[in-house]
Structure 1
Amino acid sequence: MSSETHEFKAEVAALLNLVTNSLYTNSEIFLRELISNAADALDKARFQALVDTSLDGQELESQILITVDKQAGTLTIEDTGIGMTREETAQNLGTIAHSGTLRYLEEMQRARAAGESSGAVEPNLIGQFGVGFYSAFMVADEVVVTTLSGKPGSEAVVWRSRGDGSYQVEPGSRSQRGTTIVLTLKTEAKEFLDRWRIEALVKRYSNYVMHPIRLRVIDEQGEDKDPEPRQINAASAIWARSSSELEDSDYTEFYKHVMGGFVMPGDEPFARLHFTADAPIQFHALLFVPGRAPADLFQEDRKALQLYARRVLVVENCDTLLPQYLRFVRGVVDSQDLPLNVSREMLQEHKSLAAIRRQLTRKTLKLLAELAEESADKYAKMWNEFGSVIKEGLHTDGGQRAELTELLRYRHVADTDDGLVSLKDYVAGMGEDQKYIWYVAGPNEAALRNSPHLEAVRAKGEDVLLMSDPVDEWVLQSLSEYEGKSFRSVTQGELDEPAEDEDIDDKDDDSDDKDDEAKAKDKREPSPIDPLLNLAKVVLGDRVRDVRASKRLTESPSCLVDAAGGLSRNMERILRMAQPGTKLGASPRILELNPDHPFVTAASKISETNKDDPRLAEWVEILHDIAALAEGTVPDPAGAAKRFTKVLNNLVAG
């Protein structure tokens, strides 16, 4: 057999340039592609040996050998796989996008359809697009392939090309079945002659390829530093093994790998999920709920699940496998069936990916529910780390709303030790006369516990949920009730008024807030402090929406409340944080005065006899200051300090 020179088919010079310079965005991908091709060749040989006892090389060990030759400037990838005949070499390497693997799988499918299948377990092969091999030209000036087919009577073949639009095929001298690919590296690609660089790439992309990958390094003096090449890949994918075969220590070691190699003591995962799905798409998954919130949890370029195809890493951070509200979950997904585009660096939009996402989401939510049921303490710790993220799902994923609602946990007034309560347990603890699920929202939990708005509700022995996460009030827009009980803020409206969504006989559909307020005032019973209320409206002017006698205060002299159905002060704060450039002014609020408080009753008596008493305006301002101070925000701190100081001086002076 003589040497022959051939032109690549179909304008290959331009196409080859496109493949090597545009299809792949990262030159290091070439090693993953060549190792994947070698693994396919080994799988083909193993399968073929089961059905064809005449196949040469039955005694050969399945392995992939990488040789770094610093003296020659070459990188070699060798396998003991099925090899190629001269005709196959020309077809597979001389025609871009002609995949020998794809043709092999098509032949197996035809045999199975014709009833000619051997019944042996079919191999899982990844190289189905016929372009991965050409990624070698991103780093190599010349590529030389020497191959010998396992078919009896085959002759060795050498294929070589400089990626310039032509290739040569000539007889080879290889005596064992398999394929050797020698890359003469470009000057700018000499980094791939470094042992640690090769080991890192193998561990990153091909660590779980089931065949052993061994490395040999020849130094600049031509000395072989590895007479016995050592294996550099794990070759065993923990997620593909049965959980019954694994110990907790196995999962712990893999968890460390997933989290970057180091885990602080006490930061062990809260839960893990290990399962295999067969329908509608086959995949393995091993997921962890981390024991501590990752530092990048709220960053756009955060880590996500790793996606493998037949044990080869194809997407290192695949953020489409789980919804955003489960972005804290870490782990791997390995699919046998997931279709990829030709570069394998981007997933195609395909129903298979959506099917994986649905199963992962459903099983992860079930895992969290089981954790809550089996270990309340551990779940509480998990909720403290990730609860604010999980809550986002109530607003973004209506399909999982019921499951997510049961996962919700809140701190509450009845538990002074910062314990958490579920909505189910809260409702179970409600008295027969309690109509609403009470809550109070704000930025500071300690301030919420001491809020004067709680006084009347607490006096009746009713519990109040404390909502200090910015996302809480967004959640309530999607979750208006639970088990027939409406959510009701203790800071909005009058406590004995119907909730906003309850029917009111005399309320017209087209009435505005002012009409509603006017009707409410008309219904309001006269109060013994009405003279003071009227005076306060004049003193405070448009700084308040209204001044009224309070039915929610039992101890404090005053408080500020939001109008029923309007934006709460806390929601206004959240909107300003979300849109810092917008001019969102604070709407006036309602000042409530406690008619039973000594300070209020004293001021009211004075207002009845002498409404022009100069002290009254100052005392009204102080009542407004006290209400604002209870919420942690005083509009005029300096003025408030002067007023308090003046009152104290008057007390001392007698």
Structure 2
Amino acid sequence: MSSHSSSAKFDLHLPGLLKVLAEHLYSDRRVGLRELLQNAHDSCSRRRIEAADGFSARIQISVDREAGDLIVEDNGCGLTGDEIVSYLATIGRGYTRQLREESALTDPESYRELIGQFGLGFLSAFLIASEVEVHTLSFQRGSEPMLWRSTGDETYELSPGSRNKIGTTIRLKCKPSMRFLLCEDALVDLVQMYCDLLPVPIYVGHRRYPINRQHAPWDEDDFDLAWQDFVESHPRSADALWKFQLDDWQIDLGHDTVQIPLSGVIYVPSRSTVSLNEFGDATVFIRKMFITDSNRSLLPSWARFVRAYIESPMLQPTASREDIHEDENFELVREAIEQQLLHQIATLCREDIRRWNLIVDCHTDLIMGWAATCDEFFDQIADCIQLRTTRGMMTVGQYRAECPGDKIYYETTRSPSFFEQVLLEGQSKPVIDATWFGVLPFLQEYARRDRSVRLVRTDSDLQSLMHDVPTDYFDNLVDAFKQVCPRTKIADFQPNAIPAVFLYSEHAEFIAESEEALAKDQLFPGIADAISSIVDDLTDSGESSEGVLTLNANSPLVNQLAIAANEGTLERACCELVCEMAKLFSGRMMDARKMIQSFDVFSGAVMEIVK
């Protein structure tokens, strides 16, 4: 082998490249038709810009069922022989992209509507067809008609053609798996999905009228009328509670400003469901060509209650044109959308607060769950959100009006006992149900902003509801109850209809479960030692898995029992009855087995009293 270096050209294996395109670049082979229609559109646009001959652009799709051919024809600029060799037969070299780059400084607006970019579009025709013919005649003076033919291998045929009108006809011999495209109804559906907004009329078969609308509703002078027509074919947008048009938007970069070209519509659907029916998705168009209807990155993360149709030439499609690149331009467009959405919401709150309240009511969980991620949006919704409480739906403002002071009580799955709500209600303190998605983050953000608010989980503040009382009068009663429950005390609390409750320490469940696991030797030695040490620390600090039976000094029943205890006539069954009733009411530390035992003792006490 020579020690000198050398250079060589890469070889291209076209059948292998086509396999890569079909199986990896494009997720859906139907996009081959979209790419051909895109090329036809660009051809018409180029002729309109460069020829200025007043022609009327048109794209025609036809089928030849007997031959198994799909035919796409346009009356655009056509191709010369040199252009066929340089662009059509050269993979990765796109004439549309070159035109746009060459005109970037001299006349960018004229070429702005051109769609093509990567020089791969025509190659996708072989996703559909086993053989492709291109009949073309260029608009350039002195051009001759040309015929290009290929079966998708390394070679192609180029010969004089017979076309006598300016434009291009592409004839595709459909593969067996793509013969469904020979059905005109299928073609209509695809054209309306991909090319509905392209400003060139597209005809299918012998239909007398174009099947694409050719205009985006957000570009029309009478937007409301155009939107009504648009939603007839896009029913998911029909029930919008509110909508607004996106406009070009100026972003302050600090050292400079930049104008973001932007159009489209953001709208609020009628209802949403957390996880099951969250929105926040956008249908994206680039130069009027459909790209995707499921982009979830352009809209702000907190805007899961809205949907959008978005168009911006700053967005760059991926090579397959099935999604968009998340590059620097993408970030600028996303920021422009977020700023404009916040601006429009603020305007709506000032001018139509009833509509905004309706939106919040219909999407409470989603709005509340995501609002904490955006300060400005949180300001708009903080006083509108209705929270589920033990007294019905309330805003935080209404809650604080009914419950003066600095505390806001809430319950979570960590504090499931109903008796805590009852105790708090007995002191005119409603409880917010924070088991729903987003409630606790919302409350935490509210408290972070308002330092006068203190969030209190219901099971962590029960001791503050209990007030010590002189024990002399109740000593005999407490002693009698200690025969049934050694951990018994007397306190003053509301409501007085409740004779007794069981109070547990914060980590009672953990201590009980750990002690059971340690007793049954269910833990690995190292873990067992660590758990045992934690349990010891908790018990040393006064916590226990056992509850404290707390008698209510305000209760008429407890006072009647105290009289009996002082007179020496109090029966043990009465103490058992009250104790088991308190266990069942409190609910904590009660599995099915313990509940059966409690009911058994409860029933026995009643039978003892009435016998």
TM-score normalized with structure 1 length:
0.74
Over 3 Å counting, the alpha-carbon distance change for 1:44 and 1:453 in structure 2 is farther
Matching residue of 2:525: none
Bigger mean CA deviation after superposition, 350-359 or 552-561: 552-561
Q: In the TM superposition, what whole-angstrom CA distance separates every residue of 1:562-581 from its partner, at most 9, and x where no partner exists? A: 767x7999xxxxxxxxxxxx
8 Å Cα contact 2:576/2:605 also seen in 1 = no
- Where do 1:98-109 residues align within 5 Å? 98-109=93-104
Task: Answer yes or no: is 1:11 the counterpart of 2:12.
Answer: yes
Q: CA deviation at 1:129?
A: 0.6
**Aligned with 2:586: secondary structure?**
helix
Cα distance in structure 2, aligned partners of 1:64 and 1:133:
16
Matching residue of 2:145: 156
**Aligned with 1:306: secondary structure?**
strand
Q: In the TM superposition, what whole-angstrom CA distance separates every residue of 1:267-323 from its partner, at most 9, and x where no partner exists? A: x322113222344532213122111336xx624998932111112111121122234
**Aligned with 1:339: secondary structure?**
coil
Q: In the TM superposition, what whole-angstrom CA distance separates every residue of 1:129-175 from its partner, at most 9, and x where no partner exists? A: 11011111011011111222222222222221111111121122222
Task: Answer yes or no: is 1:350 the counterpart of 2:343.
Answer: no
Matching residue of 1:186: 175
Cα distance in structure 1, aligned partners of 2:579 and 2:215:
76
Matching residue of 2:424: 454
Cα distance in structure 1, aligned partners of 2:477 and 2:70:
91
Q: In the TM superposition, what whole-angstrom CA distance separates every residue of 1:533-556 from its partner, at most 9, and x where no partner exists? A: 687688567xx9x96635453443
Matching residue of 2:34: 32
Which residue of the other structure, out of 200, 209, 213, is the alignment partner of 1:230? 209
Q: CA RMSD in A?
A: 4.3
Cα distance in structure 1, aligned partners of 2:370 and 2:336:
16
Bigger mean CA deviation after superposition, 182-191 or 613-622: 613-622
Cα distance in structure 2, aligned partners of 1:627 and 1:301:
37
Matching residue of 1:577: none
Cα distance in structure 1, aligned partners of 2:418 and 2:141:
82
Which residue of the other structure, out of 273, 291, 294, is the alignment partner of 2:244? 273
Task: Answer yes or no: is 1:410 the counterpart of 2:392.
Answer: no
Matching residue of 1:286: 265
Cα distance in structure 2, aligned partners of 1:536 and 1:312:
80
Over 3 Å counting, the alpha-carbon distance change for 1:472 and 1:302 in structure 2 is closer
Q: In the TM superposition, what whole-angstrom CA distance separates every residue of 1:6-25 from its partner, at most 9, and x where no partner exists? A: xx995152434433443112
Matching residue of 2:134: 145
Matching residue of 1:47: 49
Over 3 Å counting, the alpha-carbon distance change for 1:315 and 1:254 in structure 2 is same
8 Å Cα contact 2:145/2:162 also seen in 1 = yes
Which residue of the other structure, out of 102, 123, 138, is the alignment partner of 1:134? 123
- Partner AA of 2:44 in structure 1: L
Over 3 Å counting, the alpha-carbon distance change for 1:463 and 1:300 in structure 2 is closer
Task: Answer yes or no: is 1:473 the counterpart of 2:440.
Answer: yes
Cα distance in structure 1, aligned partners of 2:446 and 2:590:
28
Cα distance in structure 2, aligned partners of 1:209 and 1:133:
18
Q: CA deviation at 1:100?
A: 0.4
Task: Answer yes or no: is 1:69 the counterpart of 2:32.
Answer: no
Cα distance in structure 2, aligned partners of 1:128 and 1:136:
16
8 Å Cα contact 2:199/2:215 also seen in 1 = yes
Matching residue of 1:594: 552
Cα distance in structure 1, aligned partners of 2:596 and 2:168:
84
Task: Answer yes or no: is 1:556 the counterpart of 2:498.
Answer: yes
- Partner AA of 2:491 in structure 1: A
**Aligned with 1:153: secondary structure?**
coil
8 Å Cα contact 2:577/2:606 also seen in 1 = no
Consecutive unaligned residues of structure 1, counting only runs of 5 or more, are 1-7, 217-225, 499-520, 570-585
Over 3 Å counting, the alpha-carbon distance change for 1:612 and 1:647 in structure 2 is closer
Bigger mean CA deviation after superposition, 97-106 or 72-81: 72-81
Over 3 Å counting, the alpha-carbon distance change for 1:491 and 1:20 in structure 2 is closer
* Percentage of identical aligned residues: 24
- Partner AA of 1:19 in structure 2: L
8 Å Cα contact 1:143/1:184 also seen in 2 = yes
- Partner AA of 2:141 in structure 1: P
Matching residue of 2:307: 330
Q: CA deviation at 1:215?
A: 0.5
Cα distance in structure 1, aligned partners of 2:374 and 2:481:
47
Task: Answer yes or no: is 1:627 the counterpart of 2:597.
Answer: no
Consecutive unaligned residues of structure 2, counting only runs of 5 or more, are 1-8, 251-257, 511-543
Q: CA deviation at 1:390?
A: 1.9
